[in-house]
Amino acid sequence: MSLIKESFASLHTKLENREISVSELVDASLNRINEVDGQVHAFLTVNEDEARAQAKKLDEKIGVDGGKGALFGLPAGIKDNIITRGVRTTCASKLLENFTPVHHATVMEKLDAAESVSVGKLNMDEFAMGSSNENSGFIAARNPWHLDYVPGGSSGGSAAAVAAGEVTFALGSDTGGSIREPAAYCGVVGMKPTYSRVSRFGLVAFASSLDQIGPLTRSVEDNAHVLQQIAGFDNRDSTSANMDVPNYVEALGGDVKGMKIAVPKEYLGEGVNEDVRAHVSNALRELEKLGATWEEVSLPHSQYAVAAYYLIASSEASANLARFDGVRYGVRHDARNDLIEMYKKTRSEGLGDEVKRRIMLGTFALSSGYYDAYYKKAQQVRTLIKEDFDNVLQQYDVIIGPTAPTTAFKIGENIDDPLTMYANDILTIPVNLAGVPAISVPCGFSHGLPVGLQIIGKPFDERTVYKVAHAYEQATEHAKAQPVL
């Protein structure tokens, strides 16, 4: 087995026993990237020299008494909308092709403190707008299970890199399912924490009231280890929750006997593929064997979630992306005699079609005469969706359903049909609108492509989500399957 595909616990044991060095582990990651990324296209920037230099420094600590970081020596990939000091950060957009930040995002400072090694920046849909990674301004990432299929989006590069064994873990961001959907499509574990649990300082904003950074890994235990390190209060993020971070790893291993599971009828209804529905039903039976019980419930306002989400997210994107005008950073079109012309040409040539589509929709929804009819109404619907979750989660421990209505689709299949593409997020979007935590774990395969099981919890109760996910993972073999490249 490749070193990169081993568990964190196994790798740390080997490092501590001097069976391997950090340099060997980082070399294994970089060699795997060189071997397969020409097929997968998960990386936009590989930080080879700095990764090797950092590994060499960490090697000096092996065998030395004293504390080591919780992610000591583990090679990681970082979604390219997370600011990294001295390393190009493009958001997969031509507009930021030459942008190199001078500071770190908070999560990067935390990963440095945990002594992981960043090996590069990962592909994504441009400015995190998309569900397939086909909207990357550079090249579409591919699904390691079947290279003709999408890896999901917008964190497609993050999921693909983990599934392909290029890194031990990756960070992504989730605005409407952008961690969980690619995790489902690529057969890995992806956690969207409670909104405000992880600092957004240094995350290039798409929709500020929805965005949340989270980890993608091969196992639930590894995922809990990463969230443990990146979660916590940050006074540089005005939305950050000043709450203690519990020990997520300690929550693992307990039984789920007596736990009550809610299964929304809307999540298994029309539009959900038969194979996906069957695998979710099998997962519920497995949890029953472990002592949990489940009942069908209703989240009645979920039917309005997609419409509300695209109005809110596009409106916030319209405001957030106004800063990308070619004046302060990024690519600038050469229009020397006319400032307005420079703005227009910079944005029209630097931004892709999907980003332009959402900026135009958001600008319209916020405009005079339409604000109350669209943006305000969408926010009112958002409140109703959150109340649906609150009401159900008062009576049940978790909510379970599919992560996505189908498995991954072929590259190019939906690219000219934005409404169909938007509908792929129908099961993940309500979670972001409500701000609650949710994880996707593998629960089977349909025609050789992974199926994801979504487990949704109460606000700031990631422990219970991890507990249920881990119990299910340990009772099944799905997480052990790996693509062959």
pLDDT digits (tens, 9 = 90+) for 424-479: 899 999 999 999 999 999 999 999 999 999 999 999 999 999 999 999 999 999 99
Closest CA to 71 of 33, 15, 30: 15
What is the mean predicted confidence (pLDDT) over 69-96? 97
Query: What secondary structure, in 3-state letters, does 279-339 show?
Result: HHHHHHHHHHHCCCEEEEECCHHHHHHHHHHHHHHHHHHHHHHHHCCCCCCCCCCCCCCCH
Is there a catalytic annotation at residue 79?
yes
Q: How high is the pLDDT of residue 405?
A: 95
Residue 389 within any structural domain of the chain: no
321 part of a folded domain: no
Evaluate whether residue 314 is within a structural domain: no
Beta carbons within 10 angstroms of residue 461's beta carbon = 18
Tell me the average pLDDT across 155-178. 98
d(CA 403, CA 390): 20
Q: How far lies 370's CA from each of 33, 318, 375, 379, 484, in Å?
A: 48, 15, 8, 14, 51
pLDDT of res. 80: 98
Q: Are 258 and 291 in contact (CB under 8 A)?
A: yes
Q: Is residue 377 predicted with pLDDT exceeding 70? A: yes
97: CATH: 3.90.1300.10
Q: What is the DSSP letter of 193?
A: P
Query: In 80-141, which residue ranges form alpha helices assigned H by DSSP?
Result: 106-113
Quote the Cα angle for 308-417-274, to 5°.
80
Q: Does residue 409 form part of some domain?
A: yes
The residues, any chain, with a CB within 8 Å of residue 227's CB and separated by 6 or more, are 191, 193, 198, 214, 215, 248, 462
**Could you give the C-alpha distances from 409 to 38, 152, 180, 415, in angstroms and in order?**
21, 9, 16, 11
Which of 29, 118, 136, 154 does the annotation list as catalytic? 154
Q: Average pLDDT for residues 357-365, to the nearest whole number?
A: 94
Cα 428 from Cα 450, distance rounded (Å): 17
Reply yes or no on whether the pLDDT at 334 is more than 80. no
E strand or H helix at 121: strand 117-122
Question: 246-302 pLDDT, tens per residue?
Answer: 999 999 988 999 999 999 999 998 889 999 999 999 999 999 999 999 999 999 999
| 3-class secondary structure, 440 | strand
Let me know the angle formed at the C-alpha of 447 by 444 and 449, rounded to the nearest 5 degrees: 55
Nearest to 218 by CA among 173, 165, 174: 165
The H-or-E segment that residue 384 falls in is helix 377-393
Q: Is 178 a catalytic residue?
A: yes
Whether the per-residue pLDDT at 189 is higher than 70: the answer is yes
What does the pLDDT look like over 311-321, one tens digit per residue? 999 999 999 99
Q: Tell me the mean pLDDT in the region 132-142.
A: 97
> Which of 126, 94, 127, 89 minimizes the C-alpha distance to 105?
89
Answer yes or no: is pLDDT of 119 > 80: yes
pLDDT given for residue 1 in this prediction: 52
The angle, 0 to 180 degrees and rounded to 10, between the axes of the packed helices 305-320 and 353-366 is: 100
- The separation between CA 440 and the C-alpha centre of its own chain, rounded to angstroms, equals 10
Active-site annotation holder among 93, 173, 178, 219 = 178
Q: Are strands 260-264 and 398-402 parallel, antiparallel or unpaired?
A: parallel
Count Cα neighbours of 363 within 13 Å in the Cβ-side half-sphere: 9
Phi, psi dihedral angles at 30 (to 5 degrees): -65, -35
CA distances from 238 to 209, 303, 394, 463 (A): 11, 31, 28, 24
Collapse the DSSP code of 122 into the 3-class scheme (helix H, G, I; strand E, B; otherwise coil) and give the result.
strand
Gyration radius of the chain's alpha carbons:
21
Is 318 part of the annotated catalytic residue set? no
Q: Which domain holds residue 463?
A: 3-258+398-480
Task: Indicate whether 97 belongs to any domain.
Answer: yes
In-domain check, residue 146: yes
- Please state the length of the chain: 485
Query: Is 90 exceeded by the pLDDT of residue 21?
Result: yes
Number of domains in the chain: 1
Q: With 80 as the cut, is the pLDDT of residue 42 above it?
A: yes
Phi, psi of 307 (to 5 degrees): -65, -45
**277 φ/ψ sector (left φ>0, alpha ψ -120 to 50, else beta):** alpha
CA pair distance 470, 346, nearest whole angstrom: 48
Residue 122 has pLDDT above 90, yes or no: yes
pTM of the model: 0.96
Q: Which of 23, 29, 79, 173 is catalytic?
A: 79
Return the pLDDT at 461.
98
Contact 280, 443 (CB under 8 A): yes
With respect to residue 62, please indicate whether it lies within any of the assigned structural domains: yes
- pLDDT at residue 421, rounded to an integer: 76
Establish if 277 belongs to a structural domain.
no
Three-state DSSP at 376 gives helix
